[in-house]
Structure 1
Amino acid sequence: MIVCHCMSITDADIQRAMEWMRAADPETIITPGKIFRALGKSSDCGGCLPLFVDTMRKSDSLEVPMQLRGLRHATTKERDE
């Protein structure tokens, strides 16, 4: 399915880019911008971003690595003390 008409990006392209990034660096935080760069493209009009993000959310590769979970909560606790 075409997700971004401006740049001709499909849901399969997004999935492959996410899998490649996760394999290259298991601790990376995957963002739409990183996916565009991995595909050698850039965002044009931005109209695709809601569908782009929905496509990302359907992937198992999007999960935040275990060792990075809860960092915001830990930082907030340190400031409160």
Structure 2
Amino acid sequence: MIVCHCQNITDRDINNAIDWMRASDARTVITAGKVYRALGKAADCGGCMPLFLSTMRGNGNFSVPVLTTTLCQAKPNKETGS
């Protein structure tokens, strides 16, 4: 299905780009801009963005890598134990 008519991008193109990025670097944070760049394209009118993002979220490789989800967790204080 065509997701972006301005740039002629399909859901398959988006999913292939996400799969390629995740296979290339398991720790990368995938954004819509990175998907467009991976496809050699750029966003135009933005009308496709809700469907574009929904398609991205539907890909199993889109989620934030486990290694980056723990970056902001507080570490216990050695002195107080809390």
Same fold flag (TM > 0.5): yes
In the superposition, the TM-score normalised over structure 2's length comes to 0.86
Q: Which runs of 5+ in 1 are unaligned?
A: none
Specify the alignment match of 1:33 in structure 2: 33
Q: Which runs of 5+ in 2 are unaligned?
A: 76-82
CA distance in structure 1 between the partners assigned to 2:71 and 2:45 by the alignment: 33
- Once the two structures are TM-superposed, the CA of residue 71 in structure 1 deviates from its matched residue by 2.6
RMSD: 1.2
- C-alpha offsets along residues 26-80 of structure 1, whole Å, 9 cap, x if unaligned? 00000000000000000000110000000001000101111111334x2xx47xx
Specify the alignment match of 2:13 in structure 1: 13
CA distance in structure 1 between the partners assigned to 2:71 and 2:52 by the alignment: 26
Runs of 4+ with >6 A deviation: none
In the superposition, the TM-score normalised over structure 1's length comes to 0.87
Aligned length: 75
Alignment of 1:66 with 2:57, yes or no, is no
**Higher alpha-carbon Rg:** 2
Amino acid at match of 2:31: T
CA distance in structure 2 between the partners assigned to 1:49 and 1:33 by the alignment: 11
CA distance in structure 2 between the partners assigned to 1:43 and 1:70 by the alignment: 31
